[in-house]
Amino acid sequence: MTTRTNSPTRLPAPAGGGATAGMRRPRPRLRILVYALAEIDVPGGPAVHTLNLLEGFREIGCDARLVCPRPRARPAEPLPAECRFVPFFGFGPVRLLAFAGLSFLRLAGQALTWAPHAIHARYDENAALPALAALLTRTPLVIDLNGPIPRRTAWSRLPFRIARGLIANSEELRRRTCAEFAVPAERSRVVSMHVDTERFRPLSRERCRAELGLEAGVPIIGYIGTFQPAHDLDVMLDGFDELVRTGFDARLLLVGGGNEEARCRARAASLSAADRIRFTGWVPHERVPLYVNSFDVGLALLKPEKAFATEAFLKIKEYLACGVPVVANDCDAALFEEYPAGAVRRPGGSGAAALAAAIRASLREPAPSEAARAFIEQRFNLAAAARRTEDFIRSIV
C-alpha cells in the first residue's frame, strides 16, 4: 500500500502547538466520498450496506457524498447523502466501457472539486476505478471489503497497492486479505456489518403476520437475503423437510431472490413438505422488518467451503435486533462467543438432521430476545459503525 505525506486533503493539524490547557479543539468535519457499484434501488446486500453506511455518517456529522449508478426509479425514501449518479447507456461491451469511463470521471471530478479527506470504495470487480481516481487526485483511498477474498490478479491487486487503508467486515477476512495482498496490519481495521436499529426493532408478531397475510398460530422458520452459492439453501430446505417429517408442524418462509432462486423453488417442490414452503421473491427493504418479526426462528447458513469461510451475515444482526432467535453455522464465527447465550444456536452437524434438531431446540427453549436486542443496539447500530470507520480514516489520512 502506498504512503503519501503531501495529500491536499490531509486533516489540518492544531495551530499554535496544541489546545489551551483544559480545552479540547473540535475535530474538523470529515468529508468522505463514497463509491458503490450497486444501484441503490436494486434489492440486495450491497445497496443496503451502502445506505446504512451513509445514514451512519449522517448521524455522526460526517459530510458524505455518494457516486453510484443512476437508479432505475426514484428512491421511495429520502437518501441520507448527496448523490452523484452515473448513467448507463448503450449496449453490450460499449455499455460497460462507457459506465466505467463515466464513473472514473465522476469520481475524479468530485475528488478535485469537493476535496474529500478520503474516498471510501466498496470492493467489487470495478475497484480499480476508484483506485485510479484516488491516485490521480492524490486522495487517500479506503477499500471496504465485505465479500470473499478476491482472486489474486494484477487487476485485483491494484486497489490494494494504491489504498491507504483496508476495512473488512470480519477478523478472518481482514487477516487473510492482509496476508494475500501484503496489506500492513496497522493499515487495516475490522468494522462489522451494522444494523438500522430504528427500522429493525421488535414488532407484534400477530400484527406483522396479519399485514402480510401469513398464517397465525403456527411456527414460521424464516430466511431473508440473496439466493447465492455461498448460502446453504439446500440444507435449509432439507432441514425443514426433516423437521416436518418428524411430526413438527411449521412453515418455511424464504424472503429474497437471486441466481439460485429458480433452482431452489424446483428443489422445494420435490420435497414432502412442499406445501408448507413459501417463496416471496424480492420485497422492498422497508418491509423486510415485517417479515423478520413474523419469524419464530431466523436462519443464516453458509456452505462449509473454504471460499466462504470469511463471509459474515448482516441478517444475523437484523434478526437479533428484532428479538428473533437465530440458527446459524460458522458465519460471524468470531462473534459467537459474544452473543447472549441462547440467542444464536449452532447446529450440531452439517446435515439436515442437525439443522432440524437446532430449530426444534430454538422453538422449545425461550431465547433472550431483550438481551439480544440490547447487544445489537449497543455494538452494531449505524452510528457506532460509522464512528469506527471515521476514526480509522482519521488515523490514516
Domain tally, the chain: 2
Give the CA count within 13 Å in the CB-facing half-sphere of 16.
4
**Same domain, yes or no: 303 and 323:** yes
pTM above 0.75, yes or no: yes
**Same domain, yes or no: 362 and 392:** no
CA distance 295 to 275: 18
Burial (Cβ within 10 Å: 0-12, 13-18, ≥19) of residue 162: buried
Whichever domain contains 217, its CATH number is: 3.40.50.2000
pLDDT, residue 5, reads 40
Rg (CA), the chain: 22
- Give the pLDDT band of residue 244 (cuts 50, 70, 90): very high
**Same domain, yes or no: 375 and 389:** no
> Could you tell me the residue range of the domain that residue 52 belongs to?
29-194+381-396
pLDDT, residue 93, reads 76
Mean pLDDT of 224-239: 92
CA distance 95 to 83: 21
Asked if residue 11 is part of any domain, the answer here is no
**Same domain, yes or no: 64 and 177:** yes
**Same domain, yes or no: 210 and 234:** yes
Mean pLDDT is lowest, of 10-19, 96-105, 343-352, for 10-19
